Amino acid sequence: MKRNRAILLSMILTAALLSACASSAAYPSDTAVPLPTTQIAPLPPGQAEMSCRSFVERALSSEAGVFTNYLPTDRVGVLAAGHEVLSESQGLLLCYYAAAADKAAFDKTLSFVRDRLDTGTLLSYRMRVDGSVYPINAAVDDLRILRGLLNGAESFSEETYQVLCDNWAGRLYKTNTDDGLLLDFYDGDAQLPGRLCTLCYSDFNTLRRLGERDERWLAVEKNMRGIVLGGYLGDAFPFFKTRWLPDEDAYSTGNIRMVEALLTALHLSEVGACPKETVDWLKKTLADGAIYGEYTQTGKAATSIESTAVYALCALIGISENEPTLVELAVAKLSAYQITDEESPLYGAFGNSETEQVFSFDNLMALTALRAQTDFSAALETDGVA
């Protein structure tokens, strides 16, 4: 009975736990936020980051964390919505505040994770509006939180963050690994992991860093990297299959959601394993026009929708690959999504001012990319490249 429950959850939560890998934090790519019909000139890089941060902290958050969506809703479903809070958002914030060297904000975010999302067994991937949490985690979100703790330990020279990271990482290993594989989620009620490995969940850089203190993670990193690279679709469309089914020893893939594909590529890039063909495809496609939210496995666009998160990830890949042209192209596309009307209550947000569709993942990925762009540009100037 427990195993049947886990299999059922694997099917249902494939969608629910892809919040880090969809075009936005609670909705599939075919409902991504379209551009508004009118836009004001983009903000300068530093102002773009700070105005977005101000919006997130002022209008997209409360003491209950970062809202999935600016607009509240009474709907409760498989996908997070409205003012529900995702562990995904908290992990992204931890990484951002560590990069921005803001310890007070980092500690506030960490307190929320520790006090509200930690069930004692796992870090819940989602908190309801009433404050209750789902008894399920998401490995990709946990790894992002652990990355935030590792970054915070370095940025603030704070050993307590490393100790907490070690504790949570040890628990995650027990709940979400099997035979050296990283499994998508763990159901605390059934006390079983889901038998599914979504490729974009494997954050190789974080797995390697965890392996510096617990070598068991090194085997997980090696095994998952082999699975990801084995899912390469080919040079014509140089991305990767979506998930691995360990019980069937087979991949499962439909159309390719580009945020999933790009997150996989970014994770590979961070350990020096992203194919050159992927970077070349991104540069050429951006130079020619747009990157859409979904493609067939042969590289034919399956939607005309674009998204903030896609372009933020392109920028991050460009930074990781030391490709200034890719960074410039991606940030130019990204900037078109920022609301720059100072009279708007959504000023600084990445979203649509007409529909008020503004989602946490889009904005936090934009913040991440803009912060990384600032550091990247400074490094280029220091090296005499810019």
Residue 229 lies in a domain: yes
The DSSP 8-state label assigned to residue 264 in this structure reads: H
Tell me how far apart the alpha carbons of residues 83 and 50 are, in angstroms, rounded to a whole number.
23
Residue 305 lies in a domain: yes
DSSP secondary structure string for all residues of 180-218:
TEE-S-EETTTTEE-S-EEGGG--HHHHHHHHTT-THHH
Q: Is the pLDDT of residue 303 over 80?
A: yes
Model pLDDT, residue 382: 83
What's the pTM?
0.91
Residue 384 lies in a domain: no
Average pLDDT on 97-105 reads 96
pLDDT tens digits along 337-355: 999 999 999 999 999 888 8
Q: Residue 31: which pLDDT band, with cuts at 50, 70 and 90?
A: very low
User: CATH number of the domain that 273 lies in?
Assistant: 1.50.10.10
Tell me how far apart the alpha carbons of residues 126 and 91 are, in angstroms, rounded to a whole number.
12
Distances (CA, A) of 219 to 149, 180, 243: 22, 6, 19
How many domains does one find in the chain? 1
Domain, as residue range, for 26: 2-73+80-377
Model pLDDT, residue 20: 37
Model pLDDT, residue 204: 98
Residue 20 lies in a domain: yes
- Residue 302, CB half-sphere, CA atoms under 13 Å: how many? 15
Tell me how far apart the alpha carbons of residues 102 and 85 are, in angstroms, rounded to a whole number.
22
Residue 46 lies in a domain: yes
Residue 33 lies in a domain: yes
Model pLDDT, residue 344: 94
Residues 6 or more apart whose Cβ sits within 8 Å of residue 63: none
Residue 386 lies in a domain: no
Residue 382 lies in a domain: no
